[in-house]
Every structure is written in C-alpha cells, then in structure tokens.
Structure 1
Amino acid sequence: MTEIKHGLPSGMESAAAQLYWEAFGGKLGKLLGPSQRGERFFCETINRSSIIAATQDGELLGIVAFKSDGEGFSRAGVKDLFRHYGIGAIWRLIPLAMLERSSAADTLQMDGVCVSASARGKGVGSALFDALFTYAHERDYRYITLDVIDTNPRAKALYERLGFEATKTEGTSFLKPLLGFSYATKMRRAL
C-alpha cells in the first residue's frame, strides 16, 4: 500500500536524490554531473518540504517538489555549489540561474515530480498530484505553476490532462547545447 507523506523523512535523502537525478539528470547532467556527483549534491542539499509517496516498509516511490520559503527540491546556494564543484561552480552559476523559477504570492511553484520506474502506471503520480492540490488549496494558493521542457512531451500531455494550461514559452538560446533542450513551457493550473 502506498502512503503519502508531507516532508521527506530522515534517512530517505539518498533515495530521494537518486530518484530526482533519474528524472532530471538528462536536463541537469551537464551542469551538475556526473551522476554520482549530482546525486551527492542533491542528497546533501535536499529540502525536506517535498510530498512523497512510499511503501509501508519505507521504499520511496515518488516525489513532488515545490518551492517552499524560496527553496525548491534543493536548498543549495552559491556556497554549496563551490563546496561540491570547486572553481567549476563559476561557469555553472549563470545556466543554473536561468533554470531558477519564482512565482507570485498566490501561486505555488512546482520544482519537479518523479515516480520510480517500478511504480509508474500504478497511480502514484496521480496520488502525488492530488496531495499537492490539497496542500496548495489548504494554504490558500490560487494557482500552481510548473515548467516542462520541449524534450518531454509525455509530461506536458499529462499536465494538460490534469488541468494545466500553457501560459508562456522561454527559449534557451545559446545555452541549448549545455542544457539539452530548446525551450521550456510555463504551465498554470487554477485551484
């Protein structure tokens, strides 16, 4: 049976970082890779405010991350980048800043959703979104926003089925070779 929990329990940091990297390593790999380094970075800078899905015996099945107090899935700052990447943090700052998102006070900004391969197609993603919608509604948000990249049309189709609508598209310009995608579409769902 799947349990939905608010907040990442202690001891699940590594599993959460691994799952997040599995979902977003293709997008973040050139900036924060290789894989082991990226996973370690997220493990050590994780923001516990995510909503998670887990089995009763503690296997992590999925995560929906969102901005909380200005921090998304990771609470990393410039010092953390330098601690993990040394002088190489300098060239990472601008592209990472381009990926950073903020939202109006009445809007909850998502920072990613990921479901383990073994749990896909079993309702885990739907349960996570239901929990996120409830969380946002209880805190009087009027909207939820997210960004989806052009190389992930399946995710965009899912978000549209959940009631999200495209509001804006931003190109990656000269950073496309580094980021691996041409544009991101901002989507919004009214609550």
Structure 2
Amino acid sequence: MPLSFRPARPEDVDAAIPLIYSSGPDAFDYAFARPGRNSAQDFLRRAFLHGGGQFGWRQHTVGELDGKVVAAGTIFGGEANLGYLLAAARQILGYFGLGSVGVIHHGLQLEKIICPPPKHTLYLAHLGVDPSLRSQGVGRELIEHFLERGRRAGLKTAALDVSAANPRAQALYEKLGFEVQEERVSTLPGVSSHRYMQRAI
C-alpha cells in the first residue's frame, strides 16, 4: 500500500492528533489529562499547533493515502533533548498555568520509563496509523521511510520504545529488525512497563 510522505502542517491537526495520541495513550493520559478539565489530546492539539518542541507540527511527518492523512510520527536524537525539554516546559506552563507543577512532575516520572534517547541515534516516536488500516503495511512503510532518512543522515542506530501492553506493535518492530535492549518496569498508575528497542541502520 504505497503512501506519500510529507512534513506535517498546522492544518493536519485534526487528523494527526488522534494518531499521535494512539502511540501511547496511557503515558499521554498520565502526563497531560486532568479529569473534568482537559484530555491529553486537548494539550497535544495546542502543542501541535504551537509548532515547536517534540509535539509540534514542525517535527512531525504524515503519511497520506489518496489525499487523506493516515499515519504520523517523528524522529529525533539525543541532541534535541534539552531543546525539547525547554519547549515542553513552556507549552505546559502556557496551557496548565498553576497546575503545571503536577504535570511536570508526572512528565519527569515518565522519563524513567520512556527515557530521552542517546545522541547520534535515530529515535522513532509518536508512530500512529489509522485504525482502519492497521495490519495492512502502513506502519511498516512509515518506519521504513524514517529508517531511510536515518541512512541518508549517516546515522548507524535506530531506536524506539514500545509499551509492554502492545505486543502487536512489538511484533512489527521485531519483524523490522528491532531487538529489545531493556525493559523499564512501571509502577505508575495506569502506565504499562516499556521496552527499549534498537537496530542497526
């Protein structure tokens, strides 16, 4: 199923945010959802439209099929960690105001399970596929597109994290050559343990 890939744009927000959220709903909910006040997708939408940082449209790629956005994701390396941290802090402060302390605390707890990537690594994140097209090769095409970008950039290692509660995704990553390097056990309510996976590019 051939897709066309392009950089995301602000007007992709309605299609992209559910896909990005689907890549880790339990982690996003733990970090950004406040029952009765806002959902995690509310914050992600605001951050996507802002443009900067890990959640911004400028960092994302979308896959289109017949003109419809059906996949999304992003790639970065450890070189971006500090900039992303500062951008996230600004976005959280701007959105949550006085509630930012608790949100930042939850984010720091999550970083013990889903750690920032090392430098000189092609880290794949926010990988999402339209539910109606899963198990049809769309996820494989998205990942292969990112791996090719890593090759062109001269990187030697690709990495990602997968929830232990998502064996279907882990099976795909293993078929594409990723191997589990470490399992990080979660004690956070509602958040599954995660497995850090790598492969040579």
Name the TM-score class by shorter chain: 0.7 to 0.9
Contact map agreement 1:4 1:128 (CA 8 A) in 2 = no
Q: Identical aligned pairs, as a percentage?
A: 22
Q: Which residue of 2 aligns with 1:22?
A: 22
Contact map agreement 1:143 1:190 (CA 8 A) in 2 = yes
Contact map agreement 1:102 1:109 (CA 8 A) in 2 = no
Indicate the RMSD between aligned Cα atoms, in angstroms.
2.7
In structure 2, what is the Cα distance between the partners aligned to 1:140 and 1:112?
Answer: 22
Deviation at residue 75 of structure 1 after TM alignment: 8.4
Contact map agreement 2:185 2:194 (CA 8 A) in 1 = yes
Q: Which residue of 2 aligns with 1:189?
A: 199
Amino acid at match of 1:102: P
Which has the higher mean CA deviation after the structures are superposed, 111-120 or 65-74?
65-74
Contact map agreement 1:148 1:155 (CA 8 A) in 2 = yes
Q: Does 1:62 align with 2:71?
A: yes
Residue-by-residue CA offset, 1:50-100 (whole Å, 9 max, x unaligned): 23211232x210112222662699984212112222222211212312434
Deviation at residue 168 of structure 1 after TM alignment: 1.4
Gaps of 5+ in 2: 49-55
Deviation at residue 113 of structure 1 after TM alignment: 0.9
Q: Which residue of 1 aligns with 2:167?
A: 153
Amino acid at match of 1:56: D
Which has the higher mean CA deviation after the structures are superposed, 85-94 or 71-80?
71-80
In structure 2, what is the Cα distance between the partners aligned to 1:104 and 1:30?
Answer: 24
Q: Which residue of 2 aligns with 1:90?
A: 101
Contact map agreement 1:145 1:189 (CA 8 A) in 2 = yes
Amino acid at match of 1:17: I
Q: Which residue of 2 aligns with 1:168?
A: 182
Query: What is the correspondence of 1:8-19 to structure 2 with a 5 Å cutoff?
Result: 8-19=8-19
In structure 1, what is the Cα distance between the partners aligned to 2:110 and 2:149?
Answer: 24
Deviation at residue 153 of structure 1 after TM alignment: 1.7
Amino acid at match of 1:134: E
Amino acid at match of 1:113: L
Which consecutive aligned stretches of 4+ in structure 1 deviate over 6 angstroms post-superposition? 71-75
Amino acid at match of 1:60: V
Deviation at residue 104 of structure 1 after TM alignment: 3.2
TM-score normalized with structure 1 length:
0.83
TM-score normalized with structure 2 length:
0.80
Q: Which residue of 1 aligns with 2:43?
A: 41
Q: Cα–Cα, structure 1 residues 73 and 127, in superposed 2: closer, same or farther, change >3 Å?
A: farther
Task: Give the aligned length.
Answer: 186
Q: Cα–Cα, structure 1 residues 108 and 73, in superposed 2: closer, same or farther, change >3 Å?
A: same
Q: Cα–Cα, structure 1 residues 18 and 163, in superposed 2: closer, same or farther, change >3 Å?
A: same
Deviation at residue 34 of structure 1 after TM alignment: 5.5
